[in-house]
Structure 1
Amino acid sequence: MGDDSARKRKVRGRKIRSDRSKKEGRKAKKELARKASAARERNGDSPLSPPEDVVPEPFVETDAVASVRDRTTGWLEADQPVHLIGPTGCGKTSLALSAAAERGRPVVWLNGDEAVDTAALVGDHAGGERYTEDDRFVSGVSKQTEIVRERWVDNPLSVAVREGATLVYNEFSRSDPAAHNVLLSVFEEGVLERPGKRGEDRTIDVHPEFRAILTSNDVEYAGVHRQQDALLDRFVGVHVGYYDGETEREIVASHVDLPDEAVSTVVDATRSLRDDLGVVVGTRAAITAAKGLAVFDGGADDSDVSGDIDDELLTEVFTDVLSPKVAGAADAEDGAGIDTVDDLRADIADAI
C-alpha cells in the first residue's frame, strides 16, 4: 500500500512538472508573438519607406531644380524643418520627396486634409486584445483568468520621431491647426507627447536624425488654414515657383513622348496662359495638355504627333484641362473675370 502511494506521488510530481513546463512554453510563445508584432509594426506594417522607394519617377534635375533642392537639404542638415510653399502644380511634392531621399534615411509620408487630427498624427487605441489564461496548476482544479489589454497603434508622426525618419507632410496647410499643437514640443523640446497614451511611454524622445519637410499651397488658395504663428516661427520657408522654360520643357518631355517642337508649343502656350488668365496654370497642366495632344493629334501612337499643332486643337485641349478651375468661379476669388467655359475658351484662344 505504501509502495503504491509512493508510486502515485511520483507520477503526480512528474505531471505537475510537465504542466509547469507547458505553461512556461506558452508564456515564451506569447512573448515571441508580442516581439514579432512589435517588429511588424516598426517595419512591414508601418508607414516607413526606404529612401530609394520614394524618389519620384520621372524626376527632372536641371540646375534650377537642383538649386531649390540643395537649399532644402541644406536647411535639413542645419536641423530646421522646411516648409515648401508655392502655387499648385509647380512640383513641390516631387521636390520634397527628392530632398527626403537625398538624406538616405527612411521616409514617412503624410497627406493633410480636414480629417487629420492629433490622433491621426501620433496614434490612437485600436480596440483591445482579449484572451483567457487557463491555469491547471493543481490537478482537478481549473482557474480561468480573462485578460484585456488595450492595443495602441502609432501613426506617422510617432513612427518618424521614434525611428529618425524624414517626415514628408504634404498639403500641410489643409489640416486643422489644432492638430498641429503636438508639433510645438517636437521642434522646441525634442519630445513628442501622445495624448490618450498612458504609462511611461506616453512621450517619445525625438530621434536626433528626425527631420520634417512640409508642403503647402500659397495662402490665397481655397481650403487652406492659417497655422499658428508659434509653429510657423520654428520653420524655414522655401518658396517654390514655376521653373524656367527650359526646365518646364524637360519636365513635360519626361512624362510624354512628343516631338521637341510639340513640347515647346505646349510649354510656350502654358506660360502665356499663366500670364494672361485669372486661373492657376501650373506645370501639371502642361503635362496633362501634352498627354491630350498625344491622343487627339496623333491617335494612340505618340510618334505620329506632329510638331506643328493646330491652334484650334491646342485651344480645345487647354479648355478641357483648365475648365474644372472655372466651375463656380463667379463666386470664387480665383478665376475672376471668367464666368463660363465659353469665356475661358475665348481667353485661351486670344492668348494662343
Structure 2
Amino acid sequence: MVYVSEHQRKVRGGQSAHLTFEEKQELVSEEKEEEEKSVSLQDIEAQFLTPKTKNFVETDAVKEYEKRVEVWLKAGYPVHVIGPTGCGKTALALRVAEKLKRPSMWINGDEAITTNDLVGGYSKIEMMSVRDKYIHNVYKDKDVIEPMWVSNPLTLSCKHGYTLIYNEFSRAKPEANNILLGILEEGVLELPTKFGEERYVKVNPGFNLILTSNNIDYAGVHKPQDALLDRLACIHMDYYDRDTEIKIVMAHSNVSQSEAEVIVNLIRGLRKKLQGAEKPGTRPAIMIAQAMGNGYKKELFEQICIDAIASKFEDPIKVSQKADLIRNQLKTVKIA
C-alpha cells in the first residue's frame, strides 16, 4: 500500500503535491462506481450468454424429470443428465435452472476445452505509470505492470452462487474436468495458475451444477473418471412419450396436430428399426415441422424428411440406405 500524506504541501507554482481528503473521497467514490458498473455488466453478460428455453412444453413426463433433478439439487448434489441426442436434455437443464430463480452460466464441452476454459486465467496485462513531482527539479518515473486475471464461468458460479450448466460434459477430456473433484468433495475451487490465498475459492452454498451428456456409444464422447461420477446424481433420460413429442413439435412450429402426428409417427417408427446413435431424436421432428410450415408442399415432404434425418451420415451409401428406409416408413404413415 502506498502512503499518501494528508498535508497540503505544495511544490513551486502552487500545485499541490498530494491529494486532499475530499479529492481522495471523490476518487474512491469513482472507483466504487466503476466496480458496480463492472458487476452490472457481468450480470448482463451472464444473462445473455445462457440460452433461454423457448416454447417449453410441460407434460407429466417432463415434470417427472424436472422433479428428479430438483430433488437432487436441493439435497446438495450436482446432477448429470445422460441420454440420446435430441431427447431434450439441454432444454430440461435450462428449465430447471430458470425455476431456481438464480443467475445461471453456460459452458459447452468439446475436445479442445481445458481447465483454464472453465476457471479462467491471466488474459491481459495492466500497465500503470506513476509520476512523482514532489520536488520541482527531480523527476521520478515508475511503470508498474500487473497481469489481469479474468474469471470464467466455473469460477464465477462457485464464487457468487450461480447455477452452472455444463452442456456436452462428456465431450471434454477427463483431465480438463479434474478441477470439479475439489469442488464436489471439499467445497473449494483451486485456481492452478494463482498463488497464495488467491489460489483457493470457497464454493458459495448457492452454487448448483447441472451436466448433460450423450450416451457413451456416441462419437466424440469420453467416459468421465469414476471418482467424479461417484459424486454425481445421474439421471438417464430417454425419448419422451408420443403425446409429449407431438406437443413439443406443435409448440416449436405452426403445423396442425394431424401434421405433427404424422411427423412423430415417422420418427418413432424409424427408432424401432435403427440402433444406438442412428436413432432420430425429437430435434429432427421439429426441423421437419418448421420446414413444413415454411412454404410446405406435399410433394416435398419426402425430401424434407430425408434432409432432416438421413443427411447427417457422411457416407453416400449410408445416406442412400437411410433414405430408402425413410421412404418405406413414410408408406406406413398417413400424410396430412
Q: TM range, normalised to the smaller chain? A: 0.7 to 0.9
1:273-312 to structure 2, matched below 5 A, reads: 273-278=270-275, 279-295=278-294, 297-298=296-297
1:323-334 to structure 2, matched below 5 A, reads: 323-328=310-315
Kindly provide the amino acid, as one letter, of the partner of residue 309 in structure 2.
L
Q: Which of 286, 293, 302 does residue 315 from structure 1 map onto?
A: 302
| 1:239 maps to 2:217 | no
Q: Which of 253, 258, 262 does residue 261 from structure 1 map onto?
A: 258
Kindly provide the amino acid, as one letter, of the partner of residue 236 in structure 1.
A
| 1:80 maps to 2:80 | no
1:1-352 to structure 2, matched below 5 A, reads: 15=14, 18-21=16-19, 25=23, 29=27, 35=32, 38-45=35-42, 48-49=46-47, 54-278=51-275, 279-295=278-294, 297-298=296-297, 313-328=300-315, 339-352=317-330
Q: Which residue of 2 aligns with 1:335?
A: none
Q: CA deviation at 1:226?
A: 1.0
Native 8 Å contact 1:124 1:152 kept in 2? yes
Give the secondary-structure state (helix, strand or coil) at the position aligned to 1:269.
helix
Q: CA deviation at 1:23?
A: 10
Q: Deviations over 1:136-187 (max 9, x none)?
A: 0122222111111110000110000000011000000011111111110100
TM-score normalised to structure 2 length: 0.87
**Structure 1: 5+ residue stretches without partners:** 1-9, 299-309, 330-338
Query: CA, structure 1 residues 37+176, in 2 after alignment: closer, same or farther (shift >3 Å)?
Result: farther
Distance in 2 between the 1:326 and 1:202 partners?
46
TM-score normalised to structure 1 length: 0.84
Aligned length: 319
Give the secondary-structure state (helix, strand or coil) at the position aligned to 1:342.
helix
Between the two proteins, what is the percent identity of the paired residues?
38
Give the secondary-structure state (helix, strand or coil) at the position aligned to 1:246.
helix
Query: CA, structure 1 residues 159+38, in 2 after alignment: closer, same or farther (shift >3 Å)?
Result: farther
Query: CA, structure 1 residues 118+43, in 2 after alignment: closer, same or farther (shift >3 Å)?
Result: farther
Kindly provide the amino acid, as one letter, of the partner of residue 286 in structure 1.
A
**Larger Rg, first or second structure (1 or 2):** 1
Query: CA, structure 1 residues 211+221, in 2 after alignment: closer, same or farther (shift >3 Å)?
Result: same
Native 8 Å contact 2:12 2:136 kept in 1? no
Native 8 Å contact 2:11 2:17 kept in 1? no
Kindly provide the amino acid, as one letter, of the partner of residue 134 in structure 1.
R
Kindly provide the amino acid, as one letter, of the partner of residue 311 in structure 2.
P
Query: CA, structure 1 residues 110+34, in 2 after alignment: closer, same or farther (shift >3 Å)?
Result: farther
Query: CA, structure 1 residues 273+210, in 2 after alignment: closer, same or farther (shift >3 Å)?
Result: same
